Amino acid sequence: MTRKPVLFVLTGCTAVGKTEIALQWAERHGAEIVSCDSLLFYRGMDIGTAKPTREELGRVPHHLIDVCAPAEPMDIARYVELARAAVEGVVARGRPVLVTGGSGFYLKAFFGPVVDNVAVPADVRERVAALEAEAALAELHRLNPGGLEGLDTANPRRVTRALERCLASGRTFVELRAAFLAQPGPFADFDVRLVELVRDRDDLNERIARRVEQMLAAGLVAEVQALLLQGIESNASAAGAIGYREVIACLTGKAETAELAATISRNTRALVKKQLTWFRTQLPEHRRLPAAKVDVATLFAG
């Protein structure tokens, strides 16, 4: 029986210290890195994303960094296509693959299905888009008398997506969900090994505060000014990212500049709390290692 190729995945919350540890492990093993960070896709979003520096990128080959203009949206289907091509290329070169990043939905692509096969016609999208949130949810309930188990009905985007697919397929949400979960994931033909880096909360909070100060000192405001000229506001995912949305608010007179650092730090801490919950509830069982004491030599051992 042919053994599956191995895919190494290193994750952890924002500011935990993934970049340097990933670089050290990749250098040690001759690996290439495939990014799983939803903001590193965008060219020009460097300071606010703590994107690896030119020197760091030169240490190890990286993939899926700077693949989009800031106004160009990225979605999970495109990510899977790009990530699959990158991984296959690295494997073909006979080198190990290290996936690293902390963006939950993209990360999930390595452990199960993330894209369904339901084609939604334009007229259905238009019909659903014309509905108010309450009307969309009411219509979804009408089409699903057996219930909506597994759907976050408080999330308008998920309600919209579910309604579109129910209308397009003529099937209930429960039927669609069962069919979706029965699909193999995009990387089901790999042996995926996952490690999560963790830190003490006080240590993490200090790192967040220090990183925000460094970003502002390095020119985050000027970076955002340049991105505004490139149309970043037309891309909700990029413009709404922590660090960028707060600076945009200041530049447009909606927030006080004096509170900028404190606001970014507070919002980053809130993001970290959500990430940690997501890692705990959405990822398969995995090793959790202290970033401050991790031994790179044995990172994926065991």
pLDDT tens readout for residues 89-106: 999 999 999 999 999 989
Residue 91 · residue 66 · CB < 8 Å: no
Q: What is the pLDDT of residue 7?
A: 97
Q: Can you read off the two tokens belonging to residue 232?
A: 């970043």
Q: Can you read off the two tokens belonging to residue 115?
A: 């894209």
Run of H or E residues at 32:
strand 32-35
C-beta neighbour count of 2 within 10 angstroms: 4
Q: What is the pLDDT of residue 268?
A: 98
End-to-end alpha carbon distance in the chain = 22
Q: How confident is the model at residue 1 (pLDDT cuts 50, 70, 90)?
A: low
Q: Of the segments 73-77, 112-116, 248-252, which one has the largest average pLDDT value?
A: 248-252
- pLDDT per position as a tens digit, 34-87: 999 999 999 999 999 999 999 999 999 999 999 999 999 899 999 999 999 999
Residue written as tokens 């800031």?
Answer: 70
Q: How confident is the model at residue 302 (pLDDT cuts 50, 70, 90)?
A: low
What letter would DSSP give residue 297?
Answer: G
Q: Looking at the DSSP assignment, which residues form a beta bridge with residue 242? A: none
For 173, how many CA atoms within 13 A lie in the half-sphere containing its CB?
23
Helix axes 244-251, 260-282, angle to 10 degrees: 150
Dihedral sign from CA coordinates of 288, 289, 292, 296: negative
C-beta neighbour count of 283 within 10 angstroms: 17
- Report the alpha-carbon distance of residue 212 to residue 47 in Å, rounded: 10
What percentage of the chain exceeds 90 in pLDDT?
93
- Judged against a pLDDT cut of 90, whether residue 117 lies above it is answered with no
Residue 238 · residue 42 · CB < 8 Å: yes
Residue 74 · residue 103 · CB < 8 Å: no
User: Largest alpha-carbon pair distance within the chain?
Assistant: 63
Q: How confident is the model at residue 116 (pLDDT cuts 50, 70, 90)?
A: confident
Q: What is the pLDDT of residue 193?
A: 96
Q: How confident is the model at residue 213 (pLDDT cuts 50, 70, 90)?
A: very high
- Report the alpha-carbon distance of residue 31 to residue 91 in Å, rounded: 10
Dihedral sign from CA coordinates of 75, 76, 82, 87: positive
What letter would DSSP give residue 75?
Answer: -
- Report the alpha-carbon distance of residue 111 to residue 107 in Å, rounded: 8
State the chain's mean pLDDT as an integer. Answer: 95
- Report the alpha-carbon distance of residue 59 to residue 37 in Å, rounded: 19
- Report the alpha-carbon distance of residue 197 to residue 11 in Å, rounded: 6
**What phi and psi, each to the nearest 5 degrees, are found at residue 301?**
-75, 150
Residue 17 · residue 290 · CB < 8 Å: no
- CATH 3.30.1490.20 at 6-113+185-298, yes or no: no
Q: How confident is the model at residue 3 (pLDDT cuts 50, 70, 90)?
A: confident
- Report the alpha-carbon distance of residue 199 to residue 18 in Å, rounded: 11
State pTM to two decimals. 0.90
Closest among 31, 16, 71 to 205, alpha carbons compared: 16
Domain map (residue ranges) of the chain: 6-113+185-298, 122-181
